[in-house]
């Protein structure tokens, strides 16, 4: 790649991970801040502790950003902490989204991790539906082993069309 091409490359933000329509289990105004997410759900959605996430509240239309912290595995915990607790109520339905910055050409083929918790499994979230679209075999094998170990239903992009 030439220096000119390198300097002219465009980076864009794309959805990396999404937990679609999950129920809030708590709001703790007196905690330092963040959103506490069940560890199994973090693993399935490929969101790491400390990662910046956007929250969209389906019930009231609020949109805000915070960071993820790990909750007890298989507890079903989805708790908004600190000032973010004012933007949700227990039992609200939210969407949790994280983004990645990629080169434009790479972004065209990038496949996000998208998780659909089911109504029947909330608040325990095990098993929950995972829509995975991966293109790196090693990463795919690791994610699949995590999902199988936690009894999570796995669906490929072809099965969810």
The residue ranking higher by pLDDT, 91 or 135, is: 91
How confident is the model over 59-69, as pLDDT tens digits?
A: 999 999 999 99
Q: What is the dihedral of CA 70, 138, 108, 65, to 10 degrees?
A: 10
pTM, 2 dp: 0.74
Q: What is the DSSP string of 45-97?
A: HT--TT-EEEEEETTT--EEEEEEEEEPTTS--EEEEGGGGGG--TT-EEEEE
What is the average per-residue pLDDT within 74-87?
Answer: 94
Query: Mean pLDDT, to the nearest integer, of 116-144?
Result: 52
Which residues are known to be catalytic? 34, 67
Closest CA to 110 of 9, 38, 32, 13: 13
pLDDT, mean of residues 45-70: 97
Mean pLDDT of 95-106: 95
In whole angstroms, what is the distance from residue 103 CA to residue 10 CA?
Answer: 6
Which tens digits make up the pLDDT trace of 8-42? Answer: 678 999 999 999 999 999 999 999 879 999 998 99
Mean pLDDT of 108-122: 76
116 SS3 class:
strand
User: pLDDT-based confidence at 3, cuts 50/70/90?
Assistant: low
């Amino acid at each position: 790649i030439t220096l000119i091409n390198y300097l002219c490359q465009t980076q864009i933000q794309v959805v990396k991970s999404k937990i679609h329509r999950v129920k809030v289990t708590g709001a703790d105004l007196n905690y330092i801040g963040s959103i506490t997410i069940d560890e199994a759900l973090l693993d399935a959605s490929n969101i790491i502790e400390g990662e910046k996430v956007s929250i969209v509240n389906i019930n009231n239309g609020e949109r805000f950003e915070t960071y993820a912290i790990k909750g007890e595995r298989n507890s079903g915990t989805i708790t908004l902490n600190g000032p973010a607790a004012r933007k949700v109520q227990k039992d609200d339905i939210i969407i949790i989204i994280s983004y990645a910055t990629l080169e434009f050409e790479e972004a065209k083929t990038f496949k996000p991790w998208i998780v659909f918790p089911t109504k029947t499994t909330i608040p325990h979230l095990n098993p929950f539906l995972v829509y995975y679209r991966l293109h790196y075999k090693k990463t795919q094998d690791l994610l699949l082993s995590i999902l199988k170990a936690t009894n999570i239903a796995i669906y490929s992009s072809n099965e969810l069309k």
